Amino acid sequence: MKRSASILALATACTVLAVPAFAQSQGDWTFGVGVINVNPKSNNGTLASGATTLGDDTQISLTVEYFIRDNIGIELLAATPFEHNINIAGVGTATAKQLPPTLSVNYHFPTKGKIKPFIGAGINYTTFFEEETALGVLKLEDSWGFALQAGADWQISDNGALRVNVRYMDIDSDAYLGGAAIGTAEIDPVTIGFSYVHRF
């Protein structure tokens, strides 16, 4: 009898341990708030015959995700405006602000334990504004491109998790100075984000 009870207790414990932590089910919503650093690639193309580089920036990030199937969610990324310093070799410097809302489909691996990795792919739209320069009127055209991400959630409560993720965004913007085309800024940043995610 004691042996049967022990086997039953062990089976029950194994069943409990086998349940994925922070499991996302169809119909669930999550909301995340944190910080994200946007770091453009080192060589951003040639503008006005000069090699161009864009600096990085860190801002507040917001995410909303709705699960259309168990472990499969549609996520919208938003953030406060990023400001980048632009250096055009032999020409001068400028600044520009941008917002990169990104819509992704994510797959959250149904792993055991407190760590749950995920991957995602989608589309990014980046709009530029408040371009400032002493060189003349600078205009950066808005950009559409694909986006990829990978990350992991670490469960800290029944409905809360800490998230770290890395994204790649395909961002290319046609640039105009004084109304004349001066080339394409190839930004293509890698972003690193840290956030708290709450499930509803």
| pLDDT tops 70 at residue 85 | yes
Domain-located, residue 163:
yes
| pLDDT tops 60 at residue 4 | no
| Beta sheet of 172-177, edge-to-edge order | 138-140, 172-177, 180-186
Domain-located, residue 89:
yes
Alpha helices (runs of H) in the chain, residue ranges in sequence order: 2-18
Phi, psi of 28 (to 5 degrees): -70, 150
Which range among 92-96, 117-121, 159-163, 191-195 shows the weakest confidence by mean pLDDT?
Answer: 92-96
| pLDDT tops 70 at residue 21 | no
Domain-located, residue 31:
yes
Q: pTM of the predicted model, to two decimals?
A: 0.84
Which range among 8-12, 57-61, 143-147, 190-194 shows the weakest confidence by mean pLDDT?
Answer: 8-12
Domain-located, residue 13:
no
Domain containing residue 125: CATH number: 2.40.160.20
Domain-located, residue 14:
no
Domain-located, residue 16:
no
CA distance 111 to 71: 11
Residue 90: the pLDDT is: 81
Domain count for the chain: 1
Residues of the domain holding 181: 24-199
Domain-located, residue 17:
no
For residue 118, give the amino acid letter: F
